[in-house]
Amino acid sequence: MNYVNFRLSVDTMLMVANDLVWQITDGIALHGQQLKCLPTFVAIKQTLFNGDACVLDLGGSNLRAAKVVFIDGKVFAISRALPIPMPWKRGTSYNKIDYLEKQADALINCGHIQELPLGYCFSFPADGLTNGDAQLIHWTKGLHVNDTEGQLVGKTFVDYISRVHQVELTHPTVINDTVASLLAGLTLPTTDATFGLIAGTGFNTAALIPAKLIAKLPEQYSHLGGMPVNLESGNFNPSCLTEFDSLVDQESENPGMQVFEKAVSGMYLARIFHAAYPDAGVDPQQGAKGVMQFIDSNSSASAEVCSAISLMIRAAQLISIQMLGLIEHHLTYVNPKAKTFRFVCEGGLFWASGHKLGGFNKLVKDSLNDALVAKGWQALAVDICKVEQANLKGAAIAALANKQAAVQLQHSA
């Protein structure tokens, strides 16, 4: 079969990044836009926290539970953070009670958690509420739990563990994994802007955006300062995709949704390659790992191998487009004098490495640098980093921040 060139030109990257800026602007102004831009009600007024919090981290494949101890703003201890594979299957609905019990069992095994604030890193689209909880909008990544969509994520779990196990938890605070990454980044040396980015089973980003710019918020919240916003940018629909992306979308579990995610995330890259080369022997269920193994296991420069390489490079380019769009939005609407930017990046794809391609994160960084040079922004300092246990640290920060805010409000009443 002929070579399929998935790579994007720099001009295309700049054009798509500019479109993303407009989508972010629409998303923070109005409900029901392509990017949901979901504000997270976490009282981030300082980054020095003290105390204990229990945390849950539910992603696309695993569950983790832990107790996190902060002393003088630094993590002193994290207990029992081993991942537990969730028994659900993609494309099949999972039982709600089993789903709740699995989490309760994991958290109880962390030791004494009675009366601790709960930070819940929940990696699915959920609409944040002013009390820190979140309402599940819909499941993604091919997963689904019966009788949960439209329900409160934190309250549902807190009520369950109280009723069934007599464990009382306080201040349930639900955040997205991208928001957790962003919050974990606030424990690092200060930069002008910090973002969260996940590129693994799925894809998403988060940013701190001044509440006064989030026009869809009620007026009484405009004074809150920087609010973590889960952009849900995996739903961005860029104009640079191919017929093979369209085919994968049409045959997916949720056609027409999460279009960007399907073009870039680890779960879908093998499906795209399989759509282009059905006889190449790559299992479409193997994800990005299968594509990288195919590249490494073939010594020839065949059309299939070259196309696989270009597909992985395009994935890196697409991620760098999101980074460039976030930088451009910040410079345009938040702080035109910003010079330093940090992306706290998580996910198996982002930190993957192949013998021939090298580190995927380097492909992203090189692609972003090309775009920054083309924009004349090469003087900007962009730090792309990983924070160990970012989801757990970020969720604990969110829970402790909301607990502290509630205590202060009580004392001032």
Same domain, 323 and 204: yes
Q: What does the CA dihedral 180, 181, 183, 188 come to, rounded to 10 degrees?
A: 150
Bridge partners of 128? 134
**Domain annotation covers residue 91:** yes
> pLDDT digits over 102-143, tens only?
999 999 998 889 999 999 999 888 888 888 999 999 988 778
Task: Identify whether residues 218 and 158 lie together within a single domain.
Answer: no
Question: pLDDT digit string (tens) for 377-406?
Answer: 999 999 999 999 899 999 999 999 888 776
Count of CB atoms situated within 10 Å of the CB of 251: 11
Give the residue numbers spanning the domain of 158: 51-176
- Report the C-alpha gap between 321 and 264 in whole angstroms: 11
pLDDT at 314: 98
First to last CA, the chain: 72
* Closest among 331, 313, 340, 314 to 375, alpha carbons compared: 331
The answer, yes or no, to whether residue 264 has pLDDT greater than 90, is yes
Radius of gyration of the CA atoms of the chain, in A = 21
pLDDT of residue 157: 97
pLDDT at 47 over 60: no
Query: Does 228 lie in the same domain as 289?
Result: yes
Polymer length in residues for the chain: 413
Number of domain units in the chain: 2
Tokens of 184: 């974990």
Q: Does residue 249 lie within any of the structural domains?
A: yes
Residue 255 shares a structural domain with residue 146: no
Given a contact cutoff of 8 angstroms between Cβ atoms, the answer to whether 153 and 139 are in contact is no
Q: In this predicted structure, what is the pLDDT of residue 406? A: 66
Q: Identify whether residues 344 and 273 lie together within a single domain.
A: yes
pLDDT digit string, tens, across residues 91-105: 889 999 999 999 999
Q: 242 and 334: one domain?
A: yes
Q: Which of 62-66, 140-144, 228-232, 368-372 has the lowest mean pLDDT?
A: 140-144
CB 320 within 8 A of CB 367: yes
What per-residue confidence (pLDDT) applies to 1?
Answer: 66
Dmax (CA) of the chain? 72
Residues 248/278, Cβ–Cβ less than 8 Å? no
Q: 249 pLDDT exceeds 80?
A: yes
Are 305 and 371 found together in one domain? Answer: yes
Please check whether residue 42 lies inside any domain of the structure.
no
287/200 Cα distance (integer angstroms): 10
Q: Is residue 403 part of a domain?
A: no
pLDDT digits (tens, 9 = 90+) for 307-348: 999 999 999 999 999 999 999 999 999 999 999 999 999 999
Share of the chain above pLDDT 90, in %: 72
Does any domain span residue 182? no
* Residue in this structure with the two tokens 């017929």, named with its chain if needed: 243
Which stretch of 69-78, 176-185, 233-242 has the lowest confidence by average pLDDT? 69-78
Among 34-38, 87-91, 253-257, where is mean pLDDT lowest?
A: 87-91
Same domain, 116 and 162: yes
Q: Is residue 378 part of a domain?
A: yes
Q: Which of 392, 345, 387, 346 is nearest to 64 (CA)?
A: 392
Rounded mean pLDDT of 16-45? Answer: 92
Which runs of consecutive H residues, i.e. helices, occur in 170-237? 177-185
- Cα–Cα distance for residue pair 267/291, rounded to 1 Å: 11
> What contacts 331, CB < 8 A, 6 or more positions away?
338
- pLDDT for the residue numbered 408: 56
Judge if 223 and 313 occupy the same domain.
yes
Pure H helices in 253-302: 259-264, 269-276, 287-297
What is the residue type of 33?
A: Q
Domain boundary among 141, 176, 211: 176
CATH classification of the domain holding 138 = 3.30.420.40
Q: Compute, in degrees rounded to 10, the torsion defined by CA atoms 232, 237, 240, 245.
A: 90
Confidence (pLDDT) at 413: 43
Regarding whether 133 and 254 lie in a shared domain, the answer is no
Are residues 302 and 233 part of one domain?
A: yes
Q: What is the pLDDT of residues 271-292, one digit of tens each?
A: 999 999 999 999 999 999 999 9
pLDDT of residue 411: 47
Angle between helical axes of 10-29 and 360-375 (0-180°, round to 10): 90
pLDDT at residue 48 in the model: 64
Amino acid 322: pLDDT: 98
Confidence check: pLDDT of 153 > 60: yes
Task: Answer yes or no: is 204 within a domain.
Answer: yes
Whether 151 has a pLDDT exceeding 50, the answer reads yes
Q: Tell which of 176, 207, 239 closes a domain.
A: 176
Residue 60 lies in a domain: yes
- If you average pLDDT over every residue of the chain, what do you get? 91
What pTM, to 2 d.p., does this model score? 0.88
Residues 204 and 118 in one domain: no
Residue 278: which CATH number?
3.40.367.20
pLDDT tops 60 at residue 46 = no
Distance CA 191, CA 75 (A): 20
